[in-house]
Amino acid sequence: MADAAVHPVYVLNGGDAFLRDARRSEVIAAVIGDADPQVAVTSFDADAEPAEVFDELRTIPFLSPRRVVVVRDADGFVRRNRAAVEKYLEAPSDCSVLVLEVNSWASNTRLYKTVKRIGRAIDCSPPNAGGVGRRLRDMARARGKTLAGDAAELLAQWIGQDLAALDGEIEKLSLYVGERQTITAADVGELVTATAGPGAFALTNAVTAGDVRGALTALDGMCQVRGEEFRTLGLLTWHLRRALKAKRQLDAGRTPDLKMPAGPKRDFLAMLRRRSQQRLAGDFRALLRADLALKSGRRPQAAMQQLVVDLCTG
């Protein structure tokens, strides 16, 4: 946790289960140290009786410096027993810590102000799009690895904002690269899509080269299972964003920072020279049309095929 002090109450506020689990574990570790959680931690569900919760909080801990009492999905518990919780926090136990897990935490309540004064509220809301990259880099850093920026962007595009799934992918990638320090976008393409047929970059390489047949073949291999279209669309979104950024650098007289092998790099630069910024903007419009078709359920395979043909031509 950010601070070393132990507070009598913590509120884990937000709907991301992965973050709640992580922050709860951090609070418990800070409170009980090396003590056995089996004897030092008690959990209640939302329908718990307040008397049971407060009796547990006032029970002297056994083989632990303090006791932790967790109320999960506590929105209903707080709503029904707000006055009782406020009364308890007027004179909280000095040997126990209360942890409330809630989805919402209104700032205009007396309870909110009390927790702010004597405890700590921890935001466990799902990260926004900009925050996913930071979370991914933190996950990699915790495993002694560095996550390249384009690798983080590709993972975020591919997996979305499911932090539990992203953490699992970072764990696999960390093991995959072994002693190597940096996890690259190529590693993401090789491992995250290992079960999706041809390598992930076969599609973007074919699009880069304007190879319609190769792109359609790669697309077919990547979309064997319904739902894979969205992950493939994420890959193409990442590819187009990288292309547009590099095109702007090239048009400004700067050398694009492209971390890729010599052959694909040569093809990528050739694509940028023959494709204007206006044309790339048109590619993004094609991508949005495909995204709309996928979300509306209208012939997803045909929508993706049309997209890669549009990206290869023109």
The pLDDT tens digits of the residues spanning 144-200 come to 999 988 888 888 877 777 787 788 888 889 988 888 999 988 788 777 754 344 456
- What pLDDT score does 36 carry? 87
| C-alpha–C-alpha distance, residues 270 and 256, integer Å | 12
Residue-averaged pLDDT of the chain:
84
Residue 27 — pLDDT band, cuts 50, 70, 90? Answer: very high
Q: Are 9 and 91 in contact (CB under 8 A)?
A: no
Q: How far is CA 73 from the centre of its chain?
A: 22
pLDDT digits 0-9 by tens, 53-69? 999 999 888 888 899 99
| C-alpha–C-alpha distance, residues 231 and 208, integer Å | 19
Sorted by sequence, the CB contacts under 8 Å of residue 29 that are 6+ apart come out as none
Q: How far is CA 215 from the centre of its chain?
A: 29
Residue 251 — pLDDT band, cuts 50, 70, 90? Answer: confident
Q: Are 122 and 10 in contact (CB under 8 A)?
A: yes
**Per-residue exposure over 230-244, b if at least 16 CB sit within 10 Å of its own CB, e if not:** bbbbbbbbbbbbbbb
Q: Is the pLDDT of residue 112 over 70?
A: yes
Q: Tokens for 156?
A: 């975020």
- What pLDDT score does 42 carry? 92
If one counts every other C-beta atom within 10 angstroms of the C-beta of residue 246, the result is 20
9-123 CATH: 3.40.50.300
| C-alpha–C-alpha distance, residues 218 and 206, integer Å | 8
Q: Are 212 and 313 in contact (CB under 8 A)?
A: yes
Residue 265 — pLDDT band, cuts 50, 70, 90? Answer: confident
Q: How far apart are the first and last CA of the chain?
A: 53
Per DSSP bridges, beta strands 41-44 and 67-71 are: parallel
Residue 225 — pLDDT band, cuts 50, 70, 90? Answer: low
Sign, CA dihedral 221-226-227-229, equals positive
Helix 228-251 and helix 277-296, axial crossing angle in degrees, nearest 10: 170
In three-state secondary structure terms, 164 is helix
- What pLDDT score does 298 carry? 67
- What pLDDT score does 74 carry? 92
Q: Are 290 and 303 in contact (CB under 8 A)?
A: yes
Residue 11 — pLDDT band, cuts 50, 70, 90? Answer: very high
Domain-wise residue ranges, the chain: 9-123, 133-312
Mean pLDDT of 231-240: 83
* Residue pointed to by tokens 């991301």: 16
